[in-house]
Structure 1
């Protein structure tokens, strides 16, 4: 009688291999369950791609309030009086809008990064944010297609199978992470909001009072998280993480062959 943790033999194409309990679970996993898991990951990836495309064109990446420092100092404003000198602004990667206030009423304004603000913003960082966002979208769409292909097809090359899914999920998630890091550095380190608020303002000086990331930025964060969730779904489907050491590589290869 076999013990619970003892390996059992399995025959495949005239060869006999020994399997561990976890590998036996992998072998008997229903094909329908694998399809459901991969379809779920594919739908999540496709939804993320649409979300990032939408986020890319909106001015809802960050909302900020700016204080007209010059006007507030002139009248020595304090407390509720500062509200008359407080403006608001929101922007994304391509355009934005806001309201300046310096004690003489609200002055609405709109702006575009290209070409209006090219001389005042860190162009290289801003272009890289857009570039990595575009790569993020493309890789996410490719990942969605690969998940569906693995759900309903039979991959004949390594990069079309689980290894390709792991690789795409990792690279896509890394691109999403870079987008957030670069945009945050542009806003916080390079004081992007102040540069926008003071653009073509020769008389008044504006200082940032508060900044908070808006819905489009959090869409990027959610999509970044989804890619790592997809990695867990691939593992749940029975495929080892890349470069994970296996006790019996031949048995793993046979198992992957039987899954498809």
Structure 2
């Protein structure tokens, strides 16, 4: 590929990498990872609420990695409360798993910044080492791609396997029992899915620039030198 076209491809990849940095940073901070409805089961069972009557006992819940909010409906109007994971919910959430999600979010932001710099470095500079040269782009892009995938997997495990929404809904509740009625992944989760796709697209752009995948090229063995050495 001509150098001008290669510069264009690397520049586009750099812009995509920078978009990943901004998208991951915004998604990490927003309390919009999960949105759902919470049923006040205690109140609904007291009056045998069914059908449209359940709406009087359905509240709202939304949260991210650091904070969230909930509206509790128990038939007497809504109660709006705000909460933060640190330090309020440390006793009810799977701390190690939750911190791992935040950690990998930080890794995605960090290495997306690194790969953005190296894309522009390869577009307009002269790389002189493997980790800074074209082959290194696969490494930094793969790390960012893998970590963005881990963020989604770990967070989904926390929500589904550890019933995170139920734990949050029943936090500090003594008289009522709440149950997750509906829940769905909100914008921040899908923004990380977008980051995952953009890093995958960067893989294709690197290959489009004419750079072979690592370990794809077989090195020719220099047998002549070895044969000459055996003669001495």
TM-score bucket of the superposed structures, by smaller chain: over 0.9
Q: Structure 2: which 5+ runs fail to align?
A: 223-232
Deviation at 1:245, TM superposition (A): 3.5
Answer yes or no: is 1:38 the counterpart of 2:10: yes
**Secondary structure, aligned partner of 1:90:** strand
**Distance in 1 between residues matched to 2:51 and 2:137, nearest whole Å:** 56
**Distance in 1 between residues matched to 2:16 and 2:212, nearest whole Å:** 21
Larger Rg: 1
Deviations 1:126-179 (A, max 9, x none): 000000100110000000000000000110111111211001111111100111
Higher relative contact order (CA 8 A, sep 6+): 2
TM-score, scaled to structure 1: 0.83
Counterparts of residues 24-103 of structure 1 (less than 5 Å): 29-103=1-75
Q: Which residue of the other structure, out of 154, 174, 178, is the alignment partner of 1:202?
A: 174
How many residues were matched structurally? 222
Q: Structure 1: which 5+ runs fail to align?
A: 1-28, 251-260
**Distance in 2 between residues matched to 1:97 and 1:78, nearest whole Å:** 26
**Secondary structure, aligned partner of 1:156:** coil
**Distance in 2 between residues matched to 1:106 and 1:60, nearest whole Å:** 21
TM-score, scaled to structure 2: 0.93
Answer yes or no: is 1:183 the counterpart of 2:155: yes
**Distance in 2 between residues matched to 1:120 and 1:159, nearest whole Å:** 42
Deviations 1:174-206 (A, max 9, x none): 100111011111111100011111011101101
Cross-structure match for 1:148: 120
Answer yes or no: is 1:173 the counterpart of 2:148: no
Cross-structure match for 1:242: 214
Cross-structure match for 2:183: 211
List structure 1 runs of 4+ shifted beyond 4 angstroms.
246-250
